[in-house]
């Protein structure tokens, strides 16, 4: 069954419902609001369903909903009607949601990756799947994750195995790097530089569109945690203190 929308698929507490009811513009004609005005939003401890097979755990989000149309307010069930402008946030993705998102991102014509599965090992991300280069080869990549100054995620392999053999030795023997083996898709938020996978979460996640910059990314238990701030914030200004 198709989700009813961004709002209706959230796990909402009574407090969140009351806050959203107070914040959303009333469009019954009894209250007049400027349709161009941003709507403030403050969420905590919300399980946000972003697609049939992926969810975002929102520990907190402070921000605004900015209408994409000058003549209408944001409408939660119309995910194209607004952009979420993030001032400050901590969100997390579990392994199942990451698996769904990366499989969707690599499901394009000409992709040479398939059957991707994501898990965690300590502070690292572990990705398993199949790489097709003439033949289909199973691989396992153990990687660290960090954030760039531009707010992208860097997945840096620390251990790679292909068909059970340490791939670094094979790649060194033939003089190739990861970017020679894996096709990127920048328009979908995936780029490959040398041996690093560069991810743009704003493009990977389904609508609604978000504007924010990741300043910190790390693994906490069975979640990939991301700390975000406004894109207008000084990159040197620290975000909230967080505990891993």
Q: pLDDT tens, position by position, for the chain (244 residues)?
A: 444 344 434 444 444 433 343 344 333 333 344 545 688 889 999 998 888 899 999 999 999 988 888 888 887 777 788 888 999 999 999 999 999 988 988 887 878 788 999 999 999 999 998 888 777 888 888 999 999 988 999 999 888 887 776 666 545 544 445 555 566 667 777 888 877 888 888 887 777 788 899 999 999 999 999 999 997 755 444 444 444 4
Per-residue pLDDT, 159: 87
Question: What pLDDT does residue 165 have?
Answer: 65
**Cis peptide bond upstream of 239, omega within 30:** no
Q: Contact at 8 Å (CB) between 60 and 89?
A: yes
Is 99 in contact with 114 (CB distance < 8 Å)? no
Q: CA 136, 141, 143 angle in degrees (round to 5)? A: 155
- Cα distance between residue 17 and residue 210, in whole Å: 21
pLDDT of 7 reads 43
Per-residue model confidence (pLDDT) at position 38: 82
Work out the number of other CB atoms within 10 angstroms of the CB of residue 223. Answer: 18
Helix (H) or strand (E) holding 112: none
Neighbours of 170 (CB within 10 A): 14
Instruction: Give the residue from 226, 219, 230 showing the smallest Cα distance to 59.
Output: 226
Its pTM stands at: 0.73
Looking at residue 36, its pLDDT comes to 57
For residues 167 and 161, is the Cβ–Cβ distance under 8 A?
Answer: yes
Residue 228 and residue 91 in contact, taking contact as beta carbons nearer than 8 Å: yes
Q: What residues contact residue 118 under an 8 Å CB cut-off, 6+ apart?
A: 95, 98, 99, 102, 125, 126, 127
Residue 167: helix, strand or coil by DSSP? helix
Rounded Cα distance between 15 and 75, Å, is 20
CA-nearest of 175, 170, 213, 216 to 194 is 175
């Amino acid at each position: 069954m198709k989700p009813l929308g961004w709002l209706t698929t959230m796990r909402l507490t009574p407090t969140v419902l009351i806050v959203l009811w107070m914040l959303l513009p009333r469009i019954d004609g009894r209250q007049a609001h400027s349709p161009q005005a941003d709507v403030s939003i403050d969420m905590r401890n919300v399980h946000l369903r972003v697609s049939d097979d992926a969810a975002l755990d929102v520990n907190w989000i402070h921000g605004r909903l900015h209408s994409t149309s000058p003549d209408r307010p944001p409408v939660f069930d119309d995910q194209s009607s607004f952009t979420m402008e993030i001032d400050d946030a901590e969100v997390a993705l579990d392994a199942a949601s990451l698996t769904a998102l990366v499989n969707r991102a690599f499901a394009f014509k000409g992709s040479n990756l398939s059957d991707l599965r994501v898990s965690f090992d300590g502070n690292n991300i572990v990705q398993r799947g199949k790489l097709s280069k003439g033949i289909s080869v199973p691989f396992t990549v153990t990687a660290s994750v960090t954030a760039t100054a531009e707010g992208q995620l860097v997945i840096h392999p620390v251990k790679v195995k292909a068909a059970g053999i340490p791939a670094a030795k094979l790649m060194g023997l033939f003089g190739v790097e990861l970017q020679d083996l894996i096709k990127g898709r920048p328009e979908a938020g995936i780029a490959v530089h040398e041996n690093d996978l560069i991810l743009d979460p704003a493009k990977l996640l389904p609508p609604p569109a978000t504007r924010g910059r990741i300043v910190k990314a790390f693994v906490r238990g069975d979640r990939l945690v991301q700390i975000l701030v406004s894109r207008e914030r000084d990159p040197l200004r620290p975000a909230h203190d967080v505990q891993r």
